[in-house]
């Protein structure tokens, strides 16, 4: 099992022992070492709620991102050259109970976890190999009860990124954590496979769409004509291109996919917005969010919003069709590909496609996308 770096301790990543560094001041990375920067206020919620931009004279650029819910804040970052660490400047407004608990992901892979126990800006440096190209940096806020998390800036460096101490400004006053809400009922399709429960950032939001591709490891399951809600139907909850579940799997005609969702103050919020496109190299098909997965009044407590295996960033449930074949044939097809796979969000339109209903061609092609 791959170890996870915890700030301030030695851990193992990919078999190499590393030490993460925490400095209780708003540290600066040496200018010559910085190869890319993401301001906290440019990050968005994967879930589509729970974040807001706040003015803060002590923050980089005079603004910071406030996170007040159990969501994931993320942003794409373009690395012109490979990096060797990321330094994220964060703080909380309530240090009781160990402070704010966060998990850091790079391209969906967990690289560190930490309790943010300072109300002043604190720089946390995480040694991690970062390839050149567009990457996805993500901060999961795990315990928003009675506290907020604030993100100032993430700096990517090529030399380890050890923060250099500077003067220590005081933290600005911040609003208290958001009150809890009472969910209401909703009806949605149910995914049959069950993964190992993991802390949910949630899924992944509605996740804001971006023009840049984002590659992640995701739990991919299937649902069919036979186990849709209601069974024996092609009904979908959020039609975009199709009035019922379907699609050929091409970029122009992607197949319906269901995602997790949450009911917050009576509002049904998808983990990814309806219309979000994905490409799954293992299935060689494009997909579009047009349906939801998870039943009842609190779908955020079940699949596909949570319960995905370790190593996955989120869960998608792809439509396989199946109305022209037996239930057992559909079930066998879905079981064959159910696993953690590479998934590309906002994909380019030039990947190789094996068009058609998945149950008609349930072949698997591996994790490497091929350009047509």
User: In which band, very low, low, confident or very high, does the pLDDT at 259 lie, cut at 50, 70 and 90?
Assistant: very high
Top-confidence range, 154-163, 306-315, 329-338: 329-338
Q: What is the pLDDT of residue 263?
A: 84
Higher pLDDT, 32 or 72: 72
The reported pTM is: 0.48
For the cut 80, the answer to whether the pLDDT of residue 284 exceeds it is yes
Q: What is the pLDDT of residue 22?
A: 52
Q: What is the pLDDT of residue 159?
A: 66
The whole-number average pLDDT for the span 11-20 is 33
User: Which tens digit of pLDDT belongs to each residue from 342-359?
Assistant: 999 999 999 999 999 999
Q: Name the fold adopted by 214-360.
A: Barwin-like endoglucanases (2.40.40)
The residue to which tokens 């506290």 are assigned? 147
User: Which tens digit of pLDDT belongs to each residue from 185-213?
Assistant: 333 443 434 333 333 333 333 333 334 78
User: In which band, very low, low, confident or very high, does the pLDDT at 37 lie, cut at 50, 70 and 90?
Assistant: very high
For the cut 70, the answer to whether the pLDDT of residue 4 exceeds it is no
User: Which tens digit of pLDDT belongs to each residue from 74-109?
Assistant: 999 999 999 999 999 999 998 877 789 898 988 878
Q: What is the pLDDT of residue 260?
A: 92
For the cut 60, the answer to whether the pLDDT of residue 166 exceeds it is no
Select 5-157's CATH number: 2.40.30.10, 2.60.120.260, 3.40.640.10, 3.40.50.300. 2.60.120.260
Q: What is the pLDDT of residue 103?
A: 87
The domain limits of the chain are: 5-157, 214-360
């Amino acid at each position: 099992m791959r170890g996870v770096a915890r700030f301030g301790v030695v851990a193992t990543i990919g078999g190499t022992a590393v030490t993460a560094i925490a400095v209780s001041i708003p540290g600066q990375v040496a200018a010559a070492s910085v190869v890319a920067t993401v301001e906290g206020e440019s990050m968005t919620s994967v879930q589509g709620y729970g974040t807001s931009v706040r003015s803060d004279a002590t923050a980089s650029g005079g603004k910071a991102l406030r996170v007040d819910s159990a969501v994931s804040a993320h942003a794409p970052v373009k690395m012109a050259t490979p990096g060797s660490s990321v330094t994220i400047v964060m703080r909380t407004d309530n240090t009781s109970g160990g402070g704010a608990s966060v998990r850091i992901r790079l391209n969906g892979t967990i690289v560190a976890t930490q309790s943010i126990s300072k109300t002043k800006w604190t720089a946390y440096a995480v040694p991690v190999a970062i390839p050149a190209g567009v990457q996805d940096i993500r901060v999961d806020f795990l315990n928003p009860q009675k506290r907020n998390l604030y993100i100032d800036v993430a700096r990517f460096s090529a030399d380890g990124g050890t923060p250099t101490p500077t003067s220590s400004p005081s933290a600005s006053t911040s609003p208290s954590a958001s009150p809890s809400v009472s969910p209401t009922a909703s009806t949605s399709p149910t995914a049959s496979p069950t993964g190992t429960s993991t802390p949910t950032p949630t899924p992944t939001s509605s996740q804001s769409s971006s023009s840049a591709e984002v590659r992640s490891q995701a739990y991919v399951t299937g649902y069919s004509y036979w186990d849709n809600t209601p069974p024996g139907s092609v009904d979908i909850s959020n039609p975009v291109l199709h009035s019922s579940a379907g699609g050929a799997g091409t970029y122009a005609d992607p197949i319906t996919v269901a995602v997790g969702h949450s009911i917050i103050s009576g509002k049904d919020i998808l983990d990814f917005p309806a219309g979000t496109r994905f490409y799954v190299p293992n299935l060689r098909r494009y997909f579009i969010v047009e349906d939801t997965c998870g039943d009842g009044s609190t779908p955020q407590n079940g699949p596909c919003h949570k319960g995905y295996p370790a190593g996955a960033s989120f869960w998608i449930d792809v439509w396989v069709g199946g109305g022209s074949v037996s239930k057992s044939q559909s079930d066998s097809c879905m079981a064959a590909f159910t696993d953690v796979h590479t998934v590309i969000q906002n994909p380019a339109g030039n990947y190789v496609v094996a068009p058609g209903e998945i149950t008609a061609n349930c072949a698997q092609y591996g994790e490497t996308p091929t350009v047509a």
